[in-house]
Structures are given as C-alpha cells and as structure tokens.
Amino acid sequence: MSATILFLPLKAFYFDKIRAGRKPEEFRLASDYWRKRLVGRHYDFVLLTRGYPRADDFARQQLLPWRGYVLRTITHSHFGPAAVSVFAIDVSGERLPDCAIAALRSPSAGAQSAPACQR
C-alpha cells in the first residue's frame, strides 16, 4: 500500500515560518473544498511546498508526519476582517529527511536512495 500525502503549497512567508518552527499550524478555510479533503480522511504525511517547486527541489519542500487538524475560529488578514472557521492543520514536529520526499514522490528513485535515508 502506498503512503497518502496531503500536499499543501504555501506562500514563501508562511513556509519559512513553519520551517523555522514559528508557525505550528497551517490554516485552510473550512469550505466544502477542504472539508472533502480533510474530514474523515487519514494521511500518512503532509508535504509542504514553497510555491510549486520541481519534485527534486528539496530546499522548497518539507515532509512532516500527519498529526491531524482541529476546527478553529480565527481572525486573520489573509481571510479578511471578519472571524472565519478554519481547519488548523498541525505542522509541528520534526521534519523528515529529504530522501524521504524523494522516496515518496518517485518510488523507483526512493528504492535506490533508501539506504542513504537511514538515520
């Protein structure tokens, strides 16, 4: 069975804050679009990307274990002046090594690099 990955493209500002450990949650508006992708679903990993990088551009990607989400009501300039309901996706925790990204995005390449991925 293959791993299930939630892909979250981010603006550079938010990606950099998460990578630095200063942003433990990534918000997505509680819309039908995100409800279909999150409610009742399980993922193995969350792949955060700084924009839309090439698959081998590991500087603009970070892979994290899936830790779930909670519903929150927040006020944030990104969503406008009114309070909104969001999915707060947990993006805290230790980042997995780049070779894990390679293995998940290209299983044939990952099999070759698996020994290098051992800690």
Q: What confidence tens digit (pLDDT) does each residue in 23-82 have?
A: 999 999 999 999 999 999 999 999 999 999 998 899 999 999 999 999 999 999 989 999
Radius of gyration of the chain (CA): 15
Q: Structural domain of residue 16, as residue ranges?
A: 5-117
Q: How many domains, the chain?
A: 1
In CATH, what number is assigned to the domain containing residue 37? 2.30.130
pLDDT-derived band at 1 (thresholds 50, 70, 90) equals low
Q: What angle do CA 11, 14, 16 make, to 5 degrees?
A: 105
Output the pLDDT for position 97.
Answer: 92
Residue 112 predicted with pLDDT over 50:
no
Please give the Cα distance from 51 to 65 (Å, whole number): 20
- In the block, tokens 């990204």 appear at 101
What tokens were used for 99?
């070779």
Residue 110: is its pLDDT beyond 50? no
- Region label for 18, one of left (φ > 0), alpha (ψ between -120 and 50) or beta (otherwise): alpha
The secondary structure of 22-57, three-state, reads CCCEEEEECCHHHHHHHCCCCCCEEEEEECCCCCCC
